[in-house]
């Protein structure tokens, strides 16, 4: 009996090139979180390079766990794992609430380790509880992830230092705009592999354009070693703070929800439907990868949805191709010079690409909400209130100023608060009874519940 295409081993050259394509599709997504968190902490170029390399290295390890698998760990599907965007906003909130910034990464790492271990233990149960995380919840959360990250892109577009004289200058904004335009043109007028790496090419071209303006600094590459290793606990031993742990546990729930949805989608694409056992094994890989990641100075890992699109587009379904991509990620993590290349990219250039990158995350959430039966007023209310709660920290940063600092770590993360609101509202409206209304009795939330005049109602549409 012939192997299923998922288990097919391709010729070495084809496996290498298609594996590199997966790396190219997800590279910008892996390096963005350490850049955001590292910039919030104020890391030096050397430490930022180290953190980026560590995230590449741990993404490779997590991808190995997911694609090759050991014991009951790993979905054994062409599933790329990397640093999840969902953790960025809570991590920056942790940074903001940490008085001594040198403690920020140890606190984050401690929280991720605990969240990863708890997630690993919860995986067999979580795969059964997925009915509590329908598209109305996951779509809201994914949308909030993108919305929460967009201000970061706008900040990058203005420049690296808010106190600098050229912060927000016409030159910086022009570099961001040009980079955005390049990415859009590449996405519009190219095809195949070039189209998939449009963001990466935009970063490269934007960086080259920035050289004459003196906005590009090649010192990080010159100072980086060719070979290195992400030394365990480079930034200090992990610290365990309850508020930070709660915040990252919420992120873990979000991450596990996204991964479950991604596994279901990928299973359909490769014609090997993901059953409960597969989902549980995949979640174990996600969570164990996340728990191990901080040991090597990496962040929480999760599935990368953009690579699922790549599998659908190329029709190459072999998990060994993605495992080869994981090998390239590990090698890049072991080569600080390769990791340092991203540190060369000027912040305005990153800002221009970030608009596409983070905006695409929000758009992905909206796509999920399309499947959320928003013709039901209950679901409209769930989305409306959850988005409002989640946007509070963005539009009114001082809204929770009277709360204790430990509570603000959770409250200042719109993703965390929005997720909790969506889950609770979904339970109340869709699982704990219908409140005297039929599930299909649809009324827009802005419409009156009762007719106030004697004019007869029009008959309901069938």
Q: What is the DSSP code string of 358-413?
A: HHHHHHHHHHHHHTS-TTSHHHHHHHHHHHHHHHHHHH-TTTTTTS-HHHHHHHT-
- Higher pLDDT pick, 80 / 176: 176
pLDDT band for 99, please (50, 70, 90 cuts): confident
Tens-digit pLDDT profile for residues 21-56: 777 667 767 887 898 899 889 888 788 888 988 999
Burial class (CB in 10 A: 0-12, 13-18, 19+), 213: middle
Name the pLDDT band for 18 (thresholds 50, 70, 90).
confident
pLDDT value of position 121: 94
Ranges 23-32, 200-209, 297-306, 363-372: which has the least confidence: 23-32
Highest mean pLDDT among 118-122, 141-145, 258-262, 301-305: 118-122
- 3-class DSSP state of 176: helix
- Cβ atoms within 10 A of the Cβ of 153, count? 23
H or E stretch including 302? strand 301-303
**Residue 113: pLDDT band with limits 50, 70, 90:** very high
Res 454 pLDDT > 50? no
Q: Say if residue 422's pLDDT is above 80.
A: yes
Q: CA end-to-end span of the chain, whole Å?
A: 51
Percent of the chain surpassing pLDDT 90? 24
Distance CA 220, CA 222 (A): 6
**DSSP per-residue string spanning 261-277:** HHHHHHHHHTT----HH
Q: How far apart are CA 245 and CA 115, in angstroms?
A: 7
Residue 254's pLDDT is 77
**What six digits make up the tokens of 364?**
């992905």
- pLDDT score of 305 more than 80: no
Instruction: Answer yes or no: is pLDDT of 269 > 90.
Output: no
The answer to whether 145 and 85 have CB atoms below 8 angstroms apart is yes
The predicted pLDDT at position 367 comes to 83
Q: Where are the domains of the chain?
A: 5-430
140's tokens: 């809201």
What pLDDT shows up at residue 332? Answer: 85
Mean pLDDT estimate for the chain:
82
| Model confidence pLDDT, tens digit, residues 348-367 | 988 898 888 778 778 878 88
């Amino acid at each position: 009996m012939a192997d299923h295409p998922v288990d097919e081993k391709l010729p070495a050259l084809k496996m290498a090139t298609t594996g590199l394509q997966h790396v190219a599709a997800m590279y910008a997504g892996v390096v963005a979180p350490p850049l955001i968190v590292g910039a919030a902490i104020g890391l030096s170029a050397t430490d930022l390079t180290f953190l980026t390399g560590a995230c590449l290295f741990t993404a490779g390890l997590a991808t190995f766990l997911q694609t090759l698998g050991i014991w009951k760990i790993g979905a054994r599907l062409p599933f790329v794992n990397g640093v999840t965007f969902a953790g960025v906003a809570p991590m920056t909130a942790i940074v903001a609430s940490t008085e001594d910034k040198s403690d920020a990464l140890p606190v984050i790492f401690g929280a991720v380790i605990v969240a990863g271990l708890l997630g690993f233990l919860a995986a067999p149960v979580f795969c059964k509880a997925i009915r509590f995380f329908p598209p109305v919840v996951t779509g809201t959360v994914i949308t909030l992830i993108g919305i929460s990250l967009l201000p970061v892109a706008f900040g990058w577009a203005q420049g690296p230092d808010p106190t600098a004289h050229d912060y927000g200058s016409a030159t910086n904004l022009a570099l961001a705009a040009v980079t955005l335009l390049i990415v859009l043109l590449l996405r519009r007028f190219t095809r195949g592999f070039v189209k998939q790496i449009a963001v990466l090419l935009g970063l490269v071209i934007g960086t080259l354009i920035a050289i004459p303006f003196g906005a590009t600094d090649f010192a990080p590459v010159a100072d980086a070693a060719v070979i290195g290793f992400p030394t365990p606990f480079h930034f200090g031993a992990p610290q365990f703070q309850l508020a930070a742990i709660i915040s990252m546990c919420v992120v873990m729930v979000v991450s596990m929800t996204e991964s479950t949805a991604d596994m279901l989608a990928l299973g359909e694409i490769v014609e090997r439907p993901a059953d409960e056992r597969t989902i549980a094994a995949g979640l174990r890989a996600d969570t164990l990868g996340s728990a191990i990641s901080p040991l090597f100075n990496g962040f929480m890992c999760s599935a990368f949805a953009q690579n699922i699109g790549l599998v659908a587009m190329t029709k190459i379904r072999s998990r060994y191709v993605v495992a080869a991509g994981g090998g390239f990620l590990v090698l890049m993590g072991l080569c600080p010079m390769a990791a340092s290349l991203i540190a060369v990219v000027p912040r305005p250039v990153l800002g221009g690409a970030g608009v596409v990158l983070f905006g695409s995350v929000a758009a992905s959430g909206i796509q999920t909400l399309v499947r959320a039966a928003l013709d039901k007023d209950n679901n409209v209310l769930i989305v409306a209130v959850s988005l409002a709660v989640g946007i509070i920290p963005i539009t009114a940063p001082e809204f929770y100023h009277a709360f204790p600092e430990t509570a603000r770590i959770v409250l200042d993360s719109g993703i965390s608060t929005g997720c909790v609101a969506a889950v609770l509202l979904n339970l109340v409206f869709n699982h704990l009874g219908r409140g005297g209304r039929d599930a299909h009795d649809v009324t827009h939330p802005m419409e009156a519940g009762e007719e106030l005049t004697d004019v007869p109602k029009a008959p309901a549409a069938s």
